[in-house]
Chains A and B, each alone.
Chain A
Amino acid sequence: MSTPIIDARGLRKTYSVRGRGKDAPRTVEAVKGVDITVAAGEIVGFLGPNGAGKTTTLRMLTTLLDPSGGTATVNGHDLAKDPVGVRRSIGYVAQMGTTDPSAVAGEELVDQARLYGIDRGVAAERGKALLSGLDLDGIWERKCGTLSGGQRRRLDIAMGLIHEPTIVFLDEPSTGLDPQSRANLWEHIRRVRDDFDTTVFITTHYMDEADALSDRLLVIDHGEIVGAGTSDELKRSVGGDQVLLTASSADAAAALAAAATEVLGDVPHEIDGDVVRLTVPDGASALPTLLREMGSGHDVAGVEVRRPTLDDVFLTMTGRSLRDEEA
């Protein structure tokens, strides 16, 4: 990897929480010293449940929060010594949005660009091109509050890109969007990277989003990075595919499990009701062998090969499911 565009070492944030009732005042370590390295032009997914420290980390990297410890450079600018240099290099699209509902979309874009010292005419030209690229033609004169959720979110992205930043930080970009708008948004985010070589750092607590969008993933939980790698690497680290055999009854499941492990060797397996779950390195090639060798003596009601999802990865790394956090 050449010089990283984001290089954070031991980045830490602690808050002091005022005591209330019988709770004593205490300090909470929201981010416990994370190392983050991002190469130019990458799309990096920052994945973790709500409250894991994603947004706190992002707010430190975007100069909105002072780190309690550690160092970081963003596009070569030191976070502590040159925050304005960092701000010039980045775009930030916060979870809460960027635009005033009563403001006109085009004017918000132009004003935003002017805060970066960009000339009004250049800003208007660039803004219109950006909107067109995001399938937002014709909203220039519209009030932001009249746009649909998906349009408003794409306008947020345009706001974050109007000054042509080297890096854009997107915080939970697709939260609250319908499936079609999400897929559409992902396509646009990918195109931003492909067309402008913009580095994209995206936080999400959606597995499918991280899986579909990112070149590389960082998994954070309880303020610590618990895993890093491509989606495939992370899935492989879980230990392989699962082959699920459904027996004709719960009683027959034990015999089926014994027969299967005889064929495949001593692979990890568990029995759950009438289902036998076998973990194998490569499910697709194990299955034909299994069915052939076990012969017809066993009544198999169903078979399924399940490839690990990022949800499984998260479960393995943290001991809990991402979905638990959504309740």
Chain B
Amino acid sequence: MTIARDTWIVFSRAMRLSLRQPVWVVFGLLQPILYLALFGPLLETIADTRAFGEDVDAWQIFVPGLLVQLGLFGASFVGFGLIAEWRAGVIERMRVTPASRASLLLGRVLRDVIVLLVQGTMLVLVALLFGLRAPWWAMVAGVATVALLGACFASLSYGVALTLKSEDSFAPLLNGVALPLLLLSGILLPMSLAPQWLETLSNLNPLKHVVDGVRAMFRGDLTDPVALWGVGITVALVAFGLAIGTRVFRRESA
């Protein structure tokens, strides 16, 4: 199938360029690890006040949040790289080849997903050292969630970047969207601590349900409707992100 083949060519080129700049992969990983080391211990103390509910370990609350944050922030910024590529003429050059235009997006998204898989795995391994206890399948599901959210947000990021074609308009938009999404998802503290209006607002945020879902799994509760709901929303987000991204890449003059 030609789209798979084209995607592979675009992926291997993008991956090769990323591996040549491993410093970015390390920086991307550094942020969640700083959260683990510098913020995690605070949560351990708060957890003793039972704000999180009965018998809940602070790391089981915190690590799923960090994983979702990694998926969101690790992927949202990839658009900057695309604008640079566009400015160098790389996108235009590839769009004149017979390669499927969707593959020009999918190859890049695949590269981002692989990078996030590595970062997510590292994050979970470091969290284990800090004292995280959770079922192994939940940790696998957590890393998979990072990768899936990454596919969604990388695709959206590329789509928006290719529409705006300017770092100066992309950066404020990114901050304006990603930060509220992050704060309203209860990544750092559970939204059950929030006043009513804030909780209502956060219920409209799909990421909140993804975080709750991963937390339910980390507690060992696979059959909890919250966990299933989280998985469903994650899959829907991926479909939505890829649909928007491919639409932009297929559009003329993109």
Contact = CB atoms under 8 A, between A and B. Distances in A.
A64 B98 contact: no
Interface string A8-26: 0000000000000000000
A64 B89 CA distance: 13
Contact of B97 (A97, A107, A115): A115
A164 to B, nearest CB: 13
A64 B253 contact: yes
A99 B12 CA distance: 16
B169 to A, nearest CB: 15
Nearest to A101: B88
Given A103-B17, A107-B16, A87 B92 contact: no
Contacts of A90: 96
B17 A115 contact: no
Contacts of A103: 13, 17
Contacts of A147: none
Nearest to B97: A115
A111 B12 CA distance: 9
Nearest to B99: A115
A115 B10 CA distance: 8
Of the candidates A63, A88, A114, A115, the one having the most CB atoms from chain B within 10 angstroms of its own CB is A115
Contacts of B93: 92, 94, 98-99, 112, 159
Interface in A142-170: 156, 159
B247 interface: no
Contacts of A88: 98
B97 A64 contact: no
A226 interface: no
A90 B13 CA distance: 22
B89 A97 contact: yes
Contacts of B99: 115
Nearest to B103: A115
A107 B9 CA distance: 11
Contacts of A87: 96-98
A103 B21 CA distance: 11
The SS class assigned to the A binding surface is loop
B83 to A, nearest CB: 12
A201 to B, nearest CB: 13
- Size bracket of the B interface: 20 to 34
Contacts of B88: 96-101
Interface in A182-209: none
Contact of B94 (A65, A84, A96, A115): A115
Interface string A58-93: 010011111000000000000000001001101110
Nearest to B12: A111
A285 interface: no
A62 B96 contact: yes
A77 to B, nearest CB: 11
Interface in B197-241: none
A59 B85 CA distance: 19
Contacts of A91: 96
B95 to A, nearest CB: 6
Contact of B89 (A62, A94, A102): A94
B40 to A, nearest CB: 35
B50 interface: no
A65 B252 contact: yes
B6 interface: yes
B92 A115 contact: no
Given A62-B96, A88-B98, A115 B9 contact: yes
Contacts of B95: 64
A321 B135 CA distance: 76
Of the candidates A88, A98, A107, A116, the one having the most CB atoms from chain B within 10 angstroms of its own CB is A98
A117 B1 CA distance: 12
A15 to B, nearest CB: 10
A85 B165 CA distance: 28
Nearest to A56: B253
Given A88-B98, A101-B88, 13 more contacts: A59-B253, A62-B96, A64-B95, A64-B96, A84-B98, A87-B96, A92-B93, A96-B89, A98-B93, A115-B10, A115-B99, A116-B97, A159-B93
Interface of B: 6, 9-10, 12-13, 16-17, 20-21, 85, 87-90, 92-99, 252-253
13 contacts: A63-B96, A87-B97, A88-B98, A91-B96, A98-B89, A98-B90, A98-B92, A99-B89, A99-B90, A100-B88, A102-B21, A115-B6, A116-B97
Interface of A: 59, 62-66, 84, 87-88, 90-92, 94-103, 107, 111-112, 114-117, 156, 159
